Structure 1
Amino acid sequence: MEIKELKGKLQVVKHLRDEVDAAAQKKMKEVTKELEQKIEELGDLENLNQALIVKECQSNYELQEARTELIVSLRDMLTIGRNTLFGIKRMGEIDVKPFQNTCKLKFPPEEAQIKGPEQCSLWQERLRKSEWHPFKIVFVEGNHQEVIDDDDEMLRNLKEEWGDDIYEAVTTALKEMNEYNPSGWYVVSELWNFKEKRKATLKEVISYILKNLKTCKRKRH
């Protein structure tokens, strides 16, 4: 904006040159010098901005590498238990428990044991089909957001036939898959804070692991 304003002043001065040539020439030199300084400053800022962008990309890449390494290395250590705070969550994988619980109400015990996992696997396969994309774009607080399309025929039928719990399990997996792997539509592992139901930070997972290691050492001694 400052450069634009200076360029405007320069044009005005040029128009006045014939009337007050000496004064105009002096003023023009001053404005031209100031303009050159501003352009130089802008160039320095652009270079700094580019350097910061590169540095940020490198940092983000290193953080993602660290998360991936933790997920691979600690897959067995961070198991999901009754009192687990942190662990590995498979984003986009449907929770089988709602299917098991609902089938227990609908079928005899032996049949329910088969039907629950069977239906869960069936819907997991449907999630992997990229041509099925039950989302819609809505405008929320000035931003466009992609949300589950409640009018989707398959989802409506699912809710009517199997109830809210199974519908919630399927749509939760859909949203996770759409967020974590919208192009490939397969399950992605993530470090997870099960207490707060969110993605875990590297700091809290590492702190949790170190705390467990100290506890294990004390028990051995």
Structure 2
Amino acid sequence: MEKKKANGNVLMLAEEHKREKEEALRQIIELEKQLDKKHLLEMEIEELEGKLKVREHLGDDDAVQTEIKVLNDKLNQKKAKLVDMEALNQTLVVKERQSNDELQEVRKELIEGLQTMLTNARTNIGIKRMGELDVKVFVNACLKKFSHEDAQINGVTLCSLWQDNNLKDSKWYPFKVIPTDNDEAELRLNEDDEKLQSLKEQWGDDDGIYMEVVRALKELNEYNPSGRYVVPELWNFKENRKATLKEVISYIVGQIKPFKKNRTASRK
């Protein structure tokens, strides 16, 4: 019953997200159109101002003064229109920001919903805890040095120590800023860091403990550099990357269809 309830809740979230995404896309398109119109209007105002300066130097006869008046009227109308358009653009920017915030909230709700749906499930789409060390990597590395029983204990202990004492410690920041050719800066892992060097000397730098710590460090620095605690993320395990909302919703719909068919059949 709890799984059915969770499935229903996630389906509602998926439908809500679809509506909000369509609205956000519409607002972005509208904003782009308004920005193009604003740019064109600014060019027209600049052209009118240039014409006015030319006419003002031609003389004071009635024909020139009449043309100047007409140009001034057009210019004032264009400027008033520009003010209105800037106000509209600002409104659209605020709405776009609100839509993005709402989409992030939907993403959070989907993460919570999927955590309920995917309990003990092996799927291509699911939740990955970014910055969390995989204890299996530590145990496997310890199996090369200890007996099976000791490897289990030492692996779990070592993994816990690195997660709690090092990765969660915001004071430990093994990264450095490297200048690039395009006058920008790139953040890279400082492989000369004392703790990382010690870890590499003890366990090597292959796909074992050292690389697992490096992976978790990079994830934490991307997702939560200040708090340094694990963050859940929608993940495509098949392709080992962040899952798009479209992929998540497609997966959810695929999971819920059989449930809806079974419910309809049971009613019959």
Q: Within 2, Cα distance between the matches of 1:218 and 1:56?
A: 38
Match of 2:176 among 110, 129, 136: 136
Q: Within 1, Cα distance between the matches of 2:76 and 2:230?
A: 55
Match of 1:178 among 209, 221, 235: 221
Corresponding residue of 2:38: none
Which structure's residues are more often helix, by fraction? 2
Q: Within 1, Cα distance between the matches of 2:174 and 2:117?
A: 36
Q: Deviations over 1:58-116 (max 9, x none)?
A: 211221222222222331322465x5111111111112222111111122222211111
Q: Which amino acid aligns with 2:111?
A: I
| % identity of equivalent residues | 56
Task: Flag the 1:24–1:67 CA change in 2: closer, same or farther, 3 A.
Answer: same
Corresponding residue of 1:150: 191
Corresponding residue of 1:76: 116
Corresponding residue of 1:207: 250
Corresponding residue of 1:92: 131
Corresponding residue of 1:189: 232
Corresponding residue of 1:58: 98
Task: Flag the 1:178–1:27 CA change in 2: closer, same or farther, 3 A.
Answer: farther
The answer for unaligned runs of 5 or more in structure 1 is none
Q: Which amino acid aligns with 2:171?
A: E
Corresponding residue of 1:35: 75
Q: Which amino acid aligns with 1:65?
A: E
Q: Deviations over 1:131-155 (max 9, x none)?
A: 1122223356845332322232222
**With structure 2 as the length reference, what TM-score do the two structures score?**
0.69
Corresponding residue of 1:160: 201
Q: Which amino acid aligns with 1:188?
A: V
Equivalent pairs, count: 217
Match of 1:119 among 137, 155, 158: 158
Q: Within 1, Cα distance between the matches of 2:60 and 2:260?
A: 87
Q: Which amino acid aligns with 2:224?
A: N
Report the RMSD for the aligned CA atoms in angstroms. 2.8
Matched, 1:169 2:212: yes
How far off is 1:199 after superposition? 2.0
Corresponding residue of 2:140: 101
Check whether the contact 1:85–1:193 (CA below 8 A) recurs between aligned residues: yes
Q: Which amino acid aligns with 1:108?
A: S
Give the match's secondary structure for 1:90. Answer: strand
